Amino acid sequence: MESSAAIEIAKHTLFSGGLILAIGTVTGFVAQKIKVPDIALFLIVGMAIGPAVLGLINIKSDSALYQIILLFGASYILFDGGASLQFDVLKKVWITIVVLATIGVLITAAVTAFAAHAALGVPWIVAMLLGAAIASTDPATLVPIFRQVNIRDRVAQTVMSESAFNDATGAIVTVGVLTVAMGTGEFSIAASLFDLLKQAVVGIVAGAVLGYLAALLIGHARWAFLAEYAPVVTLVAVIGAYFAADGLQASGFMAVFVFGIVIGNKDSFGFKMAPAEAQKLDEFVMTTAFIMRLFIFLLLGSQVDFHLMAQYWFGGVIVVVIFMLVARPAAVFLCALPDRRAKWSFNEMLFMCWTRETGVIPAALAGLLLGMKAPGAQIIASVTFIAILMTILIQAPTTKWLGKRLGLLEEK
């Protein structure tokens, strides 16, 4: 009987996976034809096939399958994004990246909290929880956009890098405020700063060490005995980097992103792959990243709770409009303008204000708050989903248009 039940679960999982792949492939094809980032269409189609509408897919957000897809998918997309960055560019903009990923998150959270307190009438502690939960940008959303839209290198690499690093800040601030809200302790700025520094250093070191080791095994003139297995090496190393950092209480996403940067810049360390092997690796990474994002965003769309959103939609939309048009622009201008080394132009900063989508990481934080029955968790989850829908469906499809209008689009 147990064996039969296990088989039925396996069949249902396999059927759901095949259906998602089929629907996602067609959706990706349509997105390519109408020239919009595919994640926006994935989200819409996910909402349509989810339990709230057609009911074709019903994978719970707290299921092991959903969490595996979320963890590995976001990790691999981050690795892909890191591999597209260049040391020469990062050297010129690293100050902006660091300030945006730390102080920028705090500015965004503070402005959003004020908006939530005023528009929704929630207590300050709930407003602060909401601001912290949605303050970070989402690398799983932004990396695919810049893979499909050719924006000026330094702008694209700054936005992608900052989105990879700021999830740690967002999580730490959220947990800190949650500690106070639940009455289980006091928020300590010193302890939070130390935790953030530790997560950053450990994540960077773990990603760099594994990245160098992987580059050695696939690109060294003498020791590259795994060169023809490079795609498998990347899979193992992405998982290894995530869990190495996570096991040391650091950001796994930061580790896989740094791992990707090292692999993408392996020539700088004297490692070089044969052209045929390099092409095989590129094709594998591109295909795997596409599969991961179709799974992530179709499933994310299927999780949208329309009933929950309907309860707070009016105030939620007001909060998200302020979040998009005031909070995030304030963070960009206050953090990027003082960086005299980068010398950002007004058009570049304006573009960075707009391209700051909310996605998987804030959704995970909102899910955490719901699971822990935090004060105002239902309101926070509702506004988080409104933010995800509005930023991805409004900002993502207009990225290329805005880049062209601001003179930042490049032909590659």
Q: Encode burial over 52-67: b for 16+ CB neighbours within 10 A, e otherwise.
A: beeeebebebeeeebe
Contact 357, 395 (CB under 8 A): yes
Estimate to the nearest angstrom the gap between the alpha carbon of 271 and the chain centroid.
29
Tokens of 336: 């990027």
Instruction: With residue 232 as reference, give the H or E element that holds it.
Output: helix 230-247
Cα angle 108-109-112, degrees, rounded to a multiple of 5: 85
Cite the DSSP H helix spans in 248-303: 252-264, 275-302
In this prediction the pTM is: 0.80
Q: What span, in angstroms and rounded, lies between the C-alpha atoms of 11 and 17?
A: 10
What was the pLDDT predicted at 310? 80
What was the pLDDT predicted at 309? 77
What was the pLDDT predicted at 144? 82
252 contacts: CB under 8 Å, gap ≥ 6: 71, 75, 203, 241, 242, 243, 245, 246
What was the pLDDT predicted at 412? 58
Q: What span, in angstroms and rounded, lies between the C-alpha atoms of 76 and 73?
A: 5
Task: Using alpha carbons, select from 123, 156, 127, 125 the residue that is nearest to residue 139.
Answer: 156
Residue by residue, DSSP assigns 237-258 as: HHHHHHHHHHHTTS-HHHHHHH
Q: What span, in angstroms and rounded, lies between the C-alpha atoms of 366 and 360?
A: 10
What was the pLDDT predicted at 186? 62
Strand runs labelled E in 24-68: none
Q: What span, in angstroms and rounded, lies between the C-alpha atoms of 204 and 193?
A: 16
Estimate to the nearest angstrom the gap between the alpha carbon of 251 and the chain centroid.
13
Task: Using alpha carbons, select from 241, 250, 244 the residue that is nearest to residue 76.
Answer: 241
Walk me through the domains of the chain, giving residue ranges and CATH numbers. 6-405 (1.20.1530.20)
DSSP 325: I
Q: What span, in angstroms and rounded, lies between the C-alpha atoms of 354 and 400?
A: 11
DSSP 101: I
Per-residue pLDDT of the chain (412 residues; tens, 9 = 90+): 455 777 887 888 888 889 999 999 999 999 888 877 788 888 889 889 888 788 888 887 777 788 888 888 888 888 888 888 888 888 888 899 989 988 999 999 999 999 999 998 889 999 999 999 899 888 878 888 888 888 888 898 899 888 888 877 887 788 778 877 776 656 566 776 777 778 778 888 988 998 899 888 888 767 777 878 888 988 898 898 888 888 887 778 888 888 988 988 888 888 888 888 888 888 898 899 889 888 988 988 887 778 777 888 888 999 999 999 999 999 999 999 998 888 899 999 999 999 888 877 888 788 778 777 788 888 888 898 889 889 988 998 899 899 999 998 876 5
Number of Cβ atoms within 10 Å of the Cβ of 317: 16
What was the pLDDT predicted at 184? 61
Q: What span, in angstroms and rounded, lies between the C-alpha atoms of 166 and 184?
A: 25
Cα angle 348-95-349, degrees, rounded to a multiple of 5: 15
Distances, alpha carbon 392 to alpha carbons 42, 116, 260, 338, 374, in Å? 10, 20, 25, 29, 26
183 by Cβ neighbours in 10 Å (0-12 / 13-18 / 19+) ranks as: exposed
What was the pLDDT predicted at 1? 47
What was the pLDDT predicted at 330? 95
Distances, alpha carbon 71 to alpha carbons 189, 218, 274, in Å? 29, 25, 31
